[in-house]
């Protein structure tokens, strides 16, 4: 778990132990799926058999950069394999989570036959191999196993205070539909989109594999139109952060947040430079603003309001032509025509501009009648004095 800006080491081992107790078959199939990447570090040419009670048997053969896993008949004599391991799904999951094999061997839950010394090479199995490694190797990934495992990978404590449901639809061959439901300290997953999800994420299965492999990032997938999100964006973003934290790959996002905190601390004291309410930069930059909630980051509303304040003058429109037309129309109604050049000269001769802010944008379609009375009265008084000086 990531705390105080420190990079998380992930929750893979803890999740595997939880799965071993709650759903051992799911845990065992996840281990089998990751074997092509996990056994990549074994000596090339080494092969062994893995027999799981009530699930079947598989032959694992190392080829240097990856391993080939193929299903074979359970039991019988070894057919070229150096050794064979027989166990149950729960024991395999606990061993994959870093458990000691001595206890299962002594209790008979783990059996080994063949060349025992060759079995020592299994110490080279990678415990960090997972779906991302499979995607980088160009190997297929079962999304059903991955989505169902999120209920154990995401720490329930992270979900305190949150309630939402996010549906995922992978389009194309190998895809499907799943949902993840978060309910204030509880998290559940299942097939299908669920009942009225707060957000629906739709992506092709091939593009989903590219996301797993790290070829593209989630923001890039959104920008390129590879990912479609219907509904609320914050639940999708928050769920993505939890998944990264569970895998221990949330370092870049934590570094970005730390840079934002430092930038806010540097801008403290400037108008609109509201900063964190905790830590060394706890003072509010704008005296008219309240303190920000704990957490140190700006909300979406605060970020947009700050952008609007800082970009108002830079994007202010030029209404000089509209101003001249309005003055001419006022002069015609009073019976004293006023040329455009005279109107422009008269306006420039004023001590201050009539329009300090662009409250009357022609392109938006607002009429003078929709303006506040005080503003209209002020402009009318000012235009009368200019017209009088022009006459």
Closest CA to 340 of 366, 359, 322: 322
State the chain's mean pLDDT as an integer: 76
37-51, 312-326, 329-343: range with highest mean pLDDT: 37-51
Confidence of residue 296 (pLDDT cuts 50, 70, 90): low
273-277, 315-319, 322-326: range with highest mean pLDDT: 322-326
Structure tokens at 250: 């949330």
Put simply, whether the predicted model's pTM sits higher than 0.85 gets the answer: no
Average pLDDT rounded to a whole number, residues 137-144: 91
Angle at 28 between CA 22 and CA 33, to 5 degrees: 135
CB < 8 Å & 24+ apart, contacts of 177-181 = 178/143, 178/144, 178/147, 178/148, 180/147, 180/150, 180/151, 180/239
Same fold, 12-129 and 133-247: yes
Domains of the chain by residue range: 12-129, 133-247, 251-311, 320-390
Average pLDDT rounded to a whole number, residues 304-333: 64
pLDDT score recorded for residue 50: 93
Is pLDDT at 130 greater than 70 in this prediction?
A: yes
Residues 95-114 pLDDT 10s: 888 888 889 998 999 999 88
pLDDT score recorded for residue 335: 60
Give CATH superfamily name and number for 133-247: SCP2 sterol-binding domain (3.30.1050.10)
Average pLDDT rounded to a whole number, residues 119-134: 86
Q: How far is CA 54 from CA 28, 81, 86, 89, 191, in A?
A: 11, 21, 11, 9, 24
Residues 337-377 pLDDT 10s: 544 444 444 444 444 444 444 444 444 444 444 444 444 44
Confidence of residue 260 (pLDDT cuts 50, 70, 90): confident
Q: For the purposes of burial, counting CB atoms within 10 Å of the CB of 354, is it exposed (0-12), middle (13-18) or buried (19 or more)?
A: middle
Average pLDDT rounded to a whole number, residues 219-236: 91
pLDDT score recorded for residue 41: 85
**How many CB atoms are located within 10 Å of the residue 385 CB?**
11
Three-state SS at 21: helix
pLDDT score recorded for residue 311: 60
Confidence of residue 275 (pLDDT cuts 50, 70, 90): very low
Closest CA to 296 of 353, 267, 268, 258: 258
Is pLDDT at 383 greater than 80 in this prediction?
A: no
- Which has the higher per-residue pLDDT, 58 or 3? 58
CA dist 55 and 278 (Å) reads 53
Is pLDDT at 165 greater than 90 in this prediction?
A: yes
Residues 13-53 pLDDT 10s: 888 889 989 999 999 999 999 999 988 888 888 999 999 99
Give yes or no for a contact between 153 and 15, defined as CB atoms under 8 angstroms apart.
Answer: yes
Give yes or no for a contact between 193 and 169, defined as CB atoms under 8 angstroms apart.
Answer: yes
Check whether domain 12-129 has CATH 3.30.1050.10, yes or no? yes
Is pLDDT at 310 greater than 90 in this prediction?
A: no
- Which has the higher per-residue pLDDT, 346 or 199? 199
Q: What size, in residues, is the chain?
A: 391
Closest CA to 114 of 81, 145, 139, 136: 81
């Amino acid at each position: 778990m990531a705390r105080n800006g420190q990079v998380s080491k992930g929750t893979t081992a803890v999740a595997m132990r939880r799965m071993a107790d709650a759903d051992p078959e799911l845990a065992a199939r996840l281990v089998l799926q990751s074997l092509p990447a996990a056994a990549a570090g074994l000596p090339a040419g080494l092969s062994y058999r893995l027999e799981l009670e009530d699930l079947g048997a598989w032959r694992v053969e190392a080829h240097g950069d990856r391993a080939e896993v193929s299903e074979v008949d359970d039991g019988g004599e070894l057919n070229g394999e150096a050794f064979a391991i027989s166990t149950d799904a729960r024991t395999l999951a606990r061993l994959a989570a870093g458990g000691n094999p001595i206890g299962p061997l002594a209790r008979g839950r783990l059996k080994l036959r063949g060349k025992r010394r060759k079995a020592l090479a299994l110490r080279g199995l990678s415990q960090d191999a997972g779906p991302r490694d499979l995607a980088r190797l160009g190997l297929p990934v079962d999304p059903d196993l991955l989505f169902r495992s999120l209920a154990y990978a995401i720490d329930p404590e992270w979900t305190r205070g949150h309630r939402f449901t996010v549906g995922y639809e992978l389009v194309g061959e190998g895809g499907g539909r799943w949902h993840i439901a978060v309910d204030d300290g509880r998290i559940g997953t299942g097939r299908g989109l669920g009942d009225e999800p707060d957000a629906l994420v739709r992506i092709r299965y091939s593009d989903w594999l590219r996301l797993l492999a790290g070829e593209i990032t989630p923001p890039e997938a959104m920008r390129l139109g590879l990912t479609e999100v219907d509904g609320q964006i914050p639940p999708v973003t928050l769920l993505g952060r939890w998944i990264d934290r569970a895998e221990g790959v949330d370092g870049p996002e934590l570094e970005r947040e730390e840079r934002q905190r430092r930038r806010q601390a540097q801008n403290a004291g400037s108008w609109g430079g509201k900063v964190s309410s905790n830590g060394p930069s706890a003072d509010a930059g704008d005296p008219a603003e309240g303190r920000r909630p704990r957490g140190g980051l700006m909300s979406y509303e605060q970020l947009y309001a700050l952008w609007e304040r800082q970009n108002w003058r830079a994007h202010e429109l030029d209404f000089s032509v509209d101003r001249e037309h309005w003055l001419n129309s006022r002069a015609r109604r009073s019976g004293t025509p006023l040329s455009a050049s005279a109107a422009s000269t008269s306006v420039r001769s004023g001590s201050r501009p009539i329009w300090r802010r662009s409250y009357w944008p022609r392109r938006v379609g607002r009429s003078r009648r929709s303006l506040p009375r005080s503003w209209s009265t002020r402009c009318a008084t000012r235009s009368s004095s200019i017209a009088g000086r022009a006459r």
